[in-house]
Structure 1
Amino acid sequence: MSGTQRAHRVAVLALDGVYPFELGIPSRILGAADGRYEVLTCSVDGRPIRTNADFTVTPEHGPEALETADTVIVAPVAPQYVTLDVPGEVTAALARIRPGTRIVSICTAAFVLAAAGLLDGRRATTHWQVADVFRRAFPHVDLDPDVLFVDDDPVLTSAGAAAGIDVCLHLLRKDHGSRLANSVARRCVVPPFRDGGQAQYIEQPVPEAGAASTAATREWALARLDEPLTLADLATHARMSRRTFARRFNDEVGLSPGRWLIQQRVVRARQLLETSDLPVDRIAGEVGFATGASLRQHLHTAIGVSPQAYRRTFRTAR
């Protein structure tokens, strides 16, 4: 990063009952981005915070850190600390956030954002185990409990634990491109992008003994995204019936084969938009979309921008 460019300031808000692991994720992931982010941890009153473990943490900052943050990340708390309204001191702290600031929740912290009215009318997610409680408490939020994170810019929400890593890597991709996000992921020894959604982690019956995995077929498909792959093609490669393959695929990945293919094609298209000068129609062909119009539609559905706007963002960043 240029010595004259100010680091993007991230304030991580810790509340009583915080999960220590998730509290440390932003500093670990964003802090590995070669000085591009300054990560500050704060509490609503500057005092020590009880974790859900057998120790407390003492942030170096109080709520004033929220006033100068470019991104605010609210760390999650254990379920017994979750409330359906916002305590006065938390409301006062959130009121310090400047309009337009990017706000992120990890796991149960979505309850804090929803109770503060920050998710009204927005698509959001939270941990699947508390999804039913969330939906009843906040009917004005468009909850999607099947995904690992939701980017409804400038508000992002993510599911439990490791999904905090996913959303922080997503912030890196948004801000600086896939190359840096992949580099940070390698340093932290985590996958740069996890496909599928939360459904793959929900408790399910143990598969029958000797049940075949679809992993090899997913790898095979990733090497052939430019081809018009069908469910029949995938099932044939896996040596399963289409019905068995579709069921097992959904159990393992949390998405249908068709949705997964679209997701992977969008990911590959984003990489090509960031790193090449190929025309949009050519990129569409390279990733398996029939036309440039199809790529535009799927990219807009996934991240809300056109290919040209996405490419301009990363050319400006470079």
Structure 2
Amino acid sequence: MPHRIAVVVLDQFAPLDLGVPGQVFRTAESPSGEPLYEVVTCSPGHVPVRCSAGYSVQPDHGLEVLDTADTVLLPGVHGGPVLRDGVIPDDLREALQGRPRVVSICTGAFALAAAGLLDGRPATTHWRNAARFSQLFPQVKLNPDVLFIDDGDVLTSAGVAAGLDLCLHIIRRDHGSAVANRAARRCVMPPWREGGQAQYIERPLPPARGNGTAATRTWMLANLHAPLDLEALAAHAGMSVRTFTRRFREETGLSPARWLSRQRVEHARHLLETTDLGVEEVARHAGFGTAVSLRQHLHAAVGVAPLAYRHTFRRPEPTPP
């Protein structure tokens, strides 16, 4: 019999998250062409459920179908009490207990955490919701820097497209690489995506408080390419090194060196995404001096090398005829 996957659809569900399991798992077939998975949908109370894109769906089942499922999957949601307060209906919490395998895509991890299924376990979710998740569920070992986490009977993925990666991983785990690769080709997607989620995360600096070092911060941004030591920064601000360091941390939440390094990494990312400058040139413009230094700082910040980052985010310009 095909492995049955029950997808639990909640109010304000993410449309792509709902479509991914039905598409990917249905393309997994045995060598003789027989389906390996059956995907069914359900909702608490078997009621129509509205999505964030402005339409509703009517799942075929209520939560009782979970009793026949080999895997239970929670798509992400874009609102509602599960994101706001970290709570789910009592009937859903009870229905999720004791299942052989549970999976979440994106913010579906909020529902698993609200059911207590992630307590003390590693998990991931969409990076934009990571801070809220950690606030609501401090007992979960959240890692927002990966595409998915396989913790045996509980698997979680990052946002949107990472759900594709997780579904293929499950097929690969259940039936091997050959089956997963065929499913990937059917879906016209890579069978394996290198790198973690870190390279996609926007990392804004903490907002500055006060303006005692504001002029110097502006000067630093205009001179990222130049060597900027602490003495030079303090002299520009007209302060002693000790006073400048203290005021800078009070106003930005970071040391001058940490703030400068993050600004240089962000500038290097911008250049890699928007220009054709070589890696050595990007390193000089961003103030890292050498490609080796840039590679070390970028890998520490986002987990990939400069060329891999550019390959992900910058499309080559077409050659003119």
TM-score by length of 1: 0.66
| Shift in Å, 1:97 | 4.2
| Shift in Å, 1:255 | 1.7
What CA distance in whole angstroms lies between the structure 1 residues aligned with 2:107 and 2:279? 32
Cα deviation per residue 1:35-90 (whole Å; 9 max; x = unaligned)?
Answer: 100100111111110110111011111111111110000011104552333233xx
| Shift in Å, 1:116 | 1.2
Aligned to 2:192: 193
Which secondary structure state, in structure 2, belongs to the residue aligned with residue 95 of structure 1? helix
Structure 1 moving runs of 4+ over 4 Å: 248-251
| Shift in Å, 1:132 | 0.9
What CA distance in whole angstroms lies between the structure 2 residues aligned with 1:154 and 1:146? 21
Q: Percent identity?
A: 47
Contact 1:19 1:76 in 2 (8 A): yes
Aligned to 2:59: 59
| Shift in Å, 1:100 | 4.5
Among 271, 292, 315, the alignment partner of 1:207 is 271
Alignment of 1:15-30 (within 5 A): 15-30=10-25
Contact 2:298 2:304 in 1 (8 A): no
Which secondary structure state, in structure 2, belongs to the residue aligned with residue 33 of structure 1? coil
What CA distance in whole angstroms lies between the structure 2 residues aligned with 1:213 and 1:56? 48
TM-score by length of 2: 0.65
Contact 1:46 1:61 in 2 (8 A): yes
Aligned to 2:164: 165
Cα deviation per residue 1:184-231 (whole Å; 9 max; x = unaligned)?
Answer: 1111011111111111112355226323479xxxxxxxxxxxxxxxxx
- 2:299 counterpart of 1:255: no
Cα deviation per residue 1:215-258 (whole Å; 9 max; x = unaligned)?
Answer: xxxxxxxxxxxxxxxxxxxxxxxxx632123345567xx3256x
What CA distance in whole angstroms lies between the structure 1 residues aligned with 2:138 and 2:96? 25
Contact 1:67 1:97 in 2 (8 A): no
Aligned to 2:85: 84
Which secondary structure state, in structure 1, belongs to the residue aligned with residue 170 of structure 2? helix
Letter in 1 for 2:47: R
What CA distance in whole angstroms lies between the structure 1 residues aligned with 2:62 and 2:17? 19
Aligned to 2:138: 139
Alignment of 1:262-277 (within 5 A): none
What CA distance in whole angstroms lies between the structure 2 residues aligned with 1:176 and 1:50? 34
Letter in 2 for 1:31: R
Cα deviation per residue 1:160-180 (whole Å; 9 max; x = unaligned)?
Answer: 000110110010010001111
Aligned to 1:74: 74
Aligned to 1:309: none
Larger Rg: 2
What CA distance in whole angstroms lies between the structure 1 residues aligned with 2:47 and 2:117? 25
Give unpaired runs (5+ residues) of structure 2. 30-34, 203-265, 281-289, 309-321
Which secondary structure state, in structure 2, belongs to the residue aligned with residue 121 of structure 1? coil
RMSD: 2.2
- 2:45 counterpart of 1:45: yes
Contact 2:148 2:165 in 1 (8 A): yes
Which secondary structure state, in structure 2, belongs to the residue aligned with residue 111 of structure 1? helix
| Shift in Å, 1:135 | 1.0
Among 273, 286, 292, the alignment partner of 1:242 is 292
What CA distance in whole angstroms lies between the structure 2 residues aligned with 1:201 and 1:79? 22
Letter in 2 for 1:32: T
Cα deviation per residue 1:135-187 (whole Å; 9 max; x = unaligned)?
Answer: 12111110101000111110011100001101100100100011111111111
Among 5, 24, 30, the alignment partner of 1:10 is 5
What CA distance in whole angstroms lies between the structure 1 residues aligned with 2:132 and 2:44? 25
Letter in 2 for 1:8: H
Which secondary structure state, in structure 1, belongs to the residue aligned with residue 112 of structure 2? helix
What CA distance in whole angstroms lies between the structure 1 residues aligned with 2:111 and 2:84? 8
